[in-house]
Amino acid sequence: MPEVKVPELAESITEGTIAEWLKQKGDSVEKGEAILELETDKVNVEVVSEEAGVLQELLANEGDTVEVGQAIAVVGEGSGSNSSESSANDDSQKNDSSSNDAQPQQVEEQNQSTDDAKQDNNQRINATPSARKYAREKGIDLSEVASQSNDVVRKEHVAQSQQQPTSQQAPAKEEAKKPAQQNPTKPVIREKMSRRKKTAAKKLLEVSNNTAMLTTFNEIDMTNVMNLRKRKKEQFIKDHDGTKLGFMSFFTKAAVAALKKYPEVNAEIDGDDMITKQYYDIGVAVSTEDGLLVPFVRDCDKKNFAEIENEIANLAKKARDKKLGLDDMVNGSFTITNGGIFGSMMSTPIINGSQAAILGMHSIITRPIAVDADTIENRPMMYIALSYDHRIIDGKEAVGFLKTIKELIENPEDLLLES
């Protein structure tokens, strides 16, 4: 019988963890239908069946680690049960038996109309496959759950919605959140780390152990770029269909110019070889509820400011909605992280994967600055940091790279000419 195997994911990903089975043993399966959700080091992906039939056997459980190419289920011939159809049939039978006084034809039409409207409404809700499946099984309207969630609807949101109508359940829910106490005076919470957190911890430690990482700093007077942005902001929005002009496009274009001037910063070590990349795929760190993700804006040297701003916004939304694909997360050349959005004044960012360096942006803070020998003015200042692998990049190149960023941001007209 045909087996469902873990598909090829990405060059650097060889295994994943089964987050949830979307189909159960005995369920009908269509060709191309998702049967489970797989959590990888970078994103969650749905694994689909290549055959239509019945899910005869599950060869792995939720929480198991499985490798690329490993058989995880068996699909056989025939027609199996369908939880959503069974639920719908049960509801229909209950409605028919409880309304003996009504005309059967009328009751059936009313139920069908209600179900269709509910189904159409649920299709428009932004929800994970596991949340939709759970809602179908429990007969829950996703639109009611969505009104209580500002983000994509997940299975836990649907489960929580069942408990909310009865106030008696609230204390139990709060009780479940209390930390387990190993010592009455020393409360702790022990929980298993997610695969993504474990992977991030492992890779960050590898970077620290396997690179000669140093960090150098500089500061930027943001006056000119802020004034330019203020002058052009409204017109930029009109010219580019509502796209806002942010600081990230300025720093991205400045980074591209600096990478062209200092190509060692756009390199990486592979064994005994140094690979200098001739493309400019810039990673932009995005904070999500599952941690920091770094999708890449491709070919930034060929994109204008509006295209970069659009791409960053789209990738950030995909990250928050858990819709990033593996292609969004691999094969970048350089990364920018902006701790300033959280209020960070200064930090030493850790290099992303096998890249040679990472640029850190920080908060814009008004500080007194000596403009010349006789004048001190309050200026909006930002500290920037470059963490780099000293095996590839010398201090001279690192300092020169940051100095180039500083000069281009402080003179944004030059940046426009560079791009």
Residues serving a catalytic function are 390, 394
Instruction: Count the neighbouring beta carbons within 10 Å of the beta carbon of residue 381.
Output: 18
**CB-count exposure of residue 33 (10 Å: 0-12, 13-18, 19+):** middle
Cβ 11 vs Cβ 329: under 8 Å = no
Q: Which residues contact 278 (CB under 8 A, 6 or more apart)?
A: none
> From CA 391, how far away is CA 388, in angstroms rounded?
9
Three-class SS of 87-106: HHHHHHHHHHHCCCCCCHHH
For 69: left if phi > 0, alpha if psi spans -120 to 50, otherwise beta; the answer is left
φ and ψ at residue 301, rounded to 5 degrees: -70, -20
Long-range contact set of residues 358-362: C-beta below 8 Å, sequence gap at least 24: 358/334, 358/386, 358/387, 358/388, 359/251, 359/255, 359/334, 359/335, 359/384, 359/385, 359/386, 359/405, 360/336, 360/384, 360/385, 360/386, 360/387, 361/247, 361/251, 361/336, 361/337, 362/338
What crossing angle do the helices spanning 305-320 and 223-239 adopt, rounded to 10°?
Answer: 80
Strand pairing class (291-293; 65-67)? unpaired
Cβ-based neighbour number of residue 378 at 10 Å: 9
Beta-carbon contacts of residue 161 (< 8 Å; ≥ 6 apart): 140, 144, 145, 148
Instruction: Tabulate helix, strand, coil % of the chain (nearest 5).
Output: 40, 25, 35
